[in-house]
Amino acid sequence: MKKLSARRRHPLAALVVLLFALAATGGLYAAFAPADEAKADTSAQSLAIEEGKKLYATGCSSCHGTGGQGTSDGPSLVGVGAAAVDFQVGTGRMPAQSPGAQAPDKPRVYDQKEIDQLAAYIASLGPGPSIPTEEDYNPSGADSAAGGELFRTNCAQCHNFTGKGGALTHGKYAPPLNDVDPKYVYEAMLHGPQNMPAFPDSVMPPEEKREIIAYLQDVNGKETASPGGFGLGGFGPVAEGMFAWTIVLALLICTAVWVAARTAKARKS
């Protein structure tokens, strides 16, 4: 102990302690942190970023700029996040085919692997929402009635009561939500594609997004029942009025014509 106490005051002692502490911290971190995965991830990630950058250069850069900084033809993609890429490219909205009020969804051009690579590249440009996992958006067990309340507050004004879509200004529109993959619904709420506002977790926590998805599946899913009969598109009174004026009126007039018409005469038959 004498030796130790003697060297305690050595000019280099502080340095030794510092090195020791750093090593211990680093060791502890190495012991507790998923170091190997991180390493593998990073390398896979950087590979994906590289691939994504190539795809970007050929497919996207003409509108969004070579570095994703945006041009007059397309907005900047810095900071939009991976979720935005997965949504836009995954639903076929991007790459856009023609200029217009907004890019419609269509059969997608890239497969999921390429989309992930593109997403990785865009995510590397700046921090933004990442692609949600299955458990984020899986609606099973979520309270659909609560989702309905949220839907009517946040979504119905543009997308209609049951997500049938609606008009916006100057030819823009809120698309119908029938048969949209819950992942894309989730991503759309997360980052707000095109003119849709975003509902980030700070404003609408993930659980509420799941409730909204659960509500949508209840009222506008493949298995949704329409107890009263054929739903006429779910557009409300305009469709009902058109139906009354066309089909119902035609039926009634045909009946009236039959009631009022003369019966066939023997001579002519």
Q: Is 47 or 247 the residue whose CB approaches other proteins more closely? A: 247
By C-alpha distance, which of 155, 152, 85 is closest to 119? 85
Considering the complex, what minimum distance in angstroms separates the CB of residue 81 from other proteins?
11
How far, in Å, CA of 20 to CA of 15, rounded?
Answer: 8
Considering the complex, what minimum distance in angstroms separates the CB of residue 55 from other proteins?
25
Considering the complex, what minimum distance in angstroms separates the CB of residue 224 from other proteins?
7
- Supply 92's token pair: 């076929």
Choices 36-44, 107-115, 117-125, 200-208; region in contact with other proteins by CB under 8 A: 200-208
Considering the complex, what minimum distance in angstroms separates the CB of residue 220 from other proteins?
9
Q: Is 77 or 174 the residue whose CB approaches other proteins more closely? A: 174
Q: Is 55 or 198 the residue whose CB approaches other proteins more closely? A: 198
- Supply 18's token pair: 């510092």
178 binds other proteins (CB under 8 A): no
Q: Is 48 or 190 the residue whose CB approaches other proteins more closely? A: 190
**Longest CA span, the chain:** 139
90 binds other proteins (CB under 8 A): no
203 binds other proteins (CB under 8 A): yes
240 binds other proteins (CB under 8 A): yes
Q: Is 18 or 168 the residue whose CB approaches other proteins more closely? A: 168
Considering the complex, what minimum distance in angstroms separates the CB of residue 123 from other proteins?
16
46 binds other proteins (CB under 8 A): no
Identified binder of other proteins from the candidate list 55, 101, 113, 185, rule CB under 8 A: 101
Around Cβ 189, how many Cβ atoms within 10 Å?
29
117 binds other proteins (CB under 8 A): no
Q: Please report which helix (H) or strand (E) contains residue 167, including its range.
A: strand 166-167
Amino acid identity at 33: A
Considering the complex, what minimum distance in angstroms separates the CB of residue 93 from other proteins?
14
The interface with other proteins within residues 145-174 (CB under 8 A) comprises: 145-150, 152-154, 156-162, 164-174
Instruction: Label residue 264 left, alpha or beta by phi (over 0 means left) and psi (-120 to 50 means alpha).
Output: beta
Considering the complex, what minimum distance in angstroms separates the CB of residue 136 from other proteins?
17
42-79 burial: b if 16+ Cβ within 10 Å, else e = eeeeeebbebbbebbeebbbebbbeebeeeeebeebbe
Contact 189, 204 (CB under 8 A): yes
> Which positions from 59 to 78 touch other proteins by CB under 8 A, shown as an x/- string?
----------------x---
258 binds other proteins (CB under 8 A): yes
Q: Is 34 or 228 the residue whose CB approaches other proteins more closely? A: 228
- Supply 119's token pair: 């997403």
By C-alpha distance, which of 219, 224, 192, 189 is closest to 207? 189
Strand partners, 166: 174
In terms of C-beta density within 10 A (0-12 exposed, 13-18 middle, 19 or more buried), how is residue 184 classed? buried
